[in-house]
C-alpha cells in the first residue's frame, strides 16, 4: 500500500483515510436526513449545547415547541406526534454530531502532527485547508437550514447544492492528499488534460443538478424513461425556459437538463474509453470508473422510475461518491504524467 513511505507519512495517511471514510458516511447520512425530511427538525445552531440530545420530556417539549413555529410544521406536519418528531430529530441530530466528530478528527491530529513533525521536513500547512473547509461546511450547513425556517417549508435548493458541492470538494481534496502520500504512480502516457477535466467538471455539474433536483422534489415527477411522460420535453414548461435562470428553479426543466447532461457525459466517457485503451494505459483504474458510472446511471434510472424511493435515492447519492473517487484517481495519475500527449 505504501511505497517508500516512512512512519510519519503513514500516520498522516491513516489520518486522511479516516477523514475520507467519515466524509463518505457524512454524505450518506446527510442524504438520508434530506430524504426523510428531517433537516429542519432542529431550529437552532447549537455548536456546544447541542452535543447531547434531549434527555427528558421537558427538553423534548422545548425542541418540539420550537419546531412547531416553522412553516414546515404549520403547513405540512401539523398533525405530527412527539414520537414522530423524535424520529426526524435524531436523523438531524446524528448528522450534526457526525459533523462535530469530523471537525475534531481534523483538528486534534493536525495540531499533534504540527508539533510532532515540525522539525522533520514535513509540511502540514496544506492539510489545514481540510480543517478550514470542514468549518466552512458547518457554516454553510446552517446557512442552508436557516433558509427553511421563516418563509419556506423546505430549504433553498441553491444552498443545498452549495452544501453538497462543498462536501465533494473536501472529499476530493482529502483523497488527492491520500494519493500523494501513497505515491500513486503516474501514467506512462498522458491523455489530453482538457478531456479529463471536461469529464470531471461534468460529473460535478451532475452532482449540483442532482442537488437542485432533490431540493425541488423533481424526482417525484415525470417518472418515466427515456421519455418524459411520452414526450422529449416536459409538457408543463416552455422550452425557452431552458435558456433562462428560471430553469434552475423549475423542477421539470432541472430534471430534463440532468437527464441530458447524463447522456452527454455518457458519450464523452465512451470516447474517453477509446482514447484510454488506445494509449495502452493500465486497465484497472478505467474498469473501476466504468463500473462506478454504469452503476450510477442504472441507479439514476431506477430512482426516477421508483418515484425517488429512499433506498434508491440514497444509493444514487452514494454512487456519486464512487464515481468522483474513481475518476479522481485517473485525474491524479494523468496530472502527474509529464510525458507528451498521446494520440
Domain assignments of the chain as residue spans, ordered by start: 1-183, 186-343
pLDDT for the residue 53: 92
Torsion from C-alpha of 184, 136, 48, 91, nearest 10 degrees: -70
Q: Is the dihedral of CA 278, 279, 284, 287 positive or negative?
A: negative
Say whether the peptide bond before residue 226 is cis (omega within 30 degrees of 0): yes
- β-pair partners for 231: 228
User: Residue written as cell 468522483?
Assistant: 324
Give dist(CA 172, CA 168) in Å, integer: 6
**pLDDT (tens digit per residue) in 225-282:** 999 999 999 988 777 788 888 889 999 999 999 999 999 999 999 999 999 999 999 9
Give dist(CA 231, CA 217) in Å, integer: 20
pLDDT for the residue 227: 94
Between helix 193-215 and helix 251-278 the angle, nearest 10°, is: 160
pLDDT for the residue 342: 46
Q: In 218-337, where do the E strands start and end? A: none
Cβ burial, residue 110 (10 Å; 0-12/13-18/19+): middle
User: 38, 92 in Cβ contact below 8 A?
Assistant: yes
In tens digits, what is the pLDDT along the chain, a chain of 343 residues? 444 457 778 999 999 999 999 999 999 999 999 999 999 999 998 877 778 999 999 999 999 999 999 999 999 999 999 999 999 999 999 999 999 999 999 999 999 988 887 766 667 788 999 999 999 999 999 999 999 998 898 999 999 999 999 999 999 999 999 999 999 999 988 999 999 999 999 999 999 999 999 999 999 999 999 999 999 999 887 777 888 888 899 999 999 999 999 999 999 999 999 999 999 999 999 999 999 999 999 999 999 999 999 999 999 999 999 999 999 999 999 999 875 554 3
Burial of 212-251, coded b for 16+ CB within 10 Å and e otherwise, reads bbbbbebbebbeeeeebeeeeebeebeeebbeeeebbbbb
Contacts of residue 107, Cβ cutoff 8 Å, sequence gap at least 6 = 131
Give dist(CA 73, CA 64) in Å, integer: 10
Question: ∠ CA(238), CA(208), CA(39), 5° rounding?
Answer: 105
pLDDT for the residue 337: 86
Return mean pLDDT, the chain: 92
Amino acid at each position: 500500500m505504501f511505497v517508500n513511505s516512512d512512519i510519519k507519512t503513514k500516520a498522516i495517511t491513516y489520518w486522511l483515510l479516516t477523514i475520507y471514510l467519515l466524509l463518505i458516511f457524512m454524505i450518506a447520512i446527510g442524504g438520508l436526513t434530506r430524504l426523510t425530511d428531517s433537516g429542519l427538525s432542529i431550529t437552532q445552531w447549537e455548536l456546544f449545547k447541542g452535543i447531547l440530545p434531549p434527555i427528558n420530556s421537558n427538553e423534548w417539549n422545548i425542541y418540539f415547541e420550537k419546531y412547531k413555529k416553522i412553516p414546515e410544521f404549520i403547513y405540512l406536519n401539523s398533525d405530527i406526534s412527539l414520537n414522530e418528531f423524535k424520529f426526524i430529530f435524531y436523523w438531524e441530530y446524528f448528522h450534526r454530531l457526525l459533523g462535530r466528530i469530523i471537525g475534531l478528527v481534523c483538528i486534534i491530529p493536525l495540531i499533534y502532527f504540527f508539533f510532532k513533525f515540525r522539525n522533520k521536513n514535513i509540511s502540514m500547512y496544506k492539510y489545514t485547508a481540510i480543517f478550514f473547509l470542514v468549518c466552512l461546511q458547518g457554516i454553510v450547513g446552517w446557512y442552508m437550514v436557516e433558509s427553511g425556517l421563516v418563509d419556506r417549508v423546505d430549504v433553498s435548493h441553491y444552498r443545498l447544492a452549495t452544501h453538497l458541492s462543498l462536501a465533494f470538494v473536501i472529499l476530493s481534496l482529502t483523497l488527492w492528499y491520500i494519493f500523494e502520500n501513497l505515491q500513486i504512480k503516474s501514467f506512462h502516457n498522458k491523455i489530453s488534460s482538457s478531456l479529463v477535466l471536461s469529464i470531471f467538471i461534468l460529473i460535478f455539474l451532475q452532482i449540483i443538478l442532482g442537488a437542485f433536483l432533490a431540493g425541488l422534489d423533481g424526482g417525484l415527477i415525470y417518472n418515466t424513461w427515456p421519455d418524459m411522460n411520452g414526450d422529449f420535453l416536459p409538457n408543463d414548461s416552455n422550452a425557452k425556459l431552458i435558456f433562462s435562470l428560471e430553469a434552475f428553479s423549475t423542477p421539470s426543466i432541472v430534471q430534463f437538463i440532468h437527464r441530458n447532461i447524463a447522456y452527454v457525459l455518457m458519450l464523452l466517457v465512451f470516447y474517453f474509453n477509446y482514447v484510454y485503451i488506445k494509449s495502452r494505459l493500465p486497465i484497472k483504474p478505467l474498469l473501476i470508473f466504468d463500473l462506478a458510472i454504469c452503476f450510477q446511471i442504472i441507479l439514476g434510472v431506477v430512482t426516477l422510475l421508483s418515484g425517488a424511493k429512499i433506498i434508491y435515492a440514497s444509493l444514487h447519492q452514494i454512487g456519486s461518491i464512487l464515481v468522483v473517487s474513481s475518476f479522481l484517481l485517473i485525474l491524479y495519475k494523468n496530472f502527474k504524467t509529464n510525458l507528451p500527449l498521446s494520440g
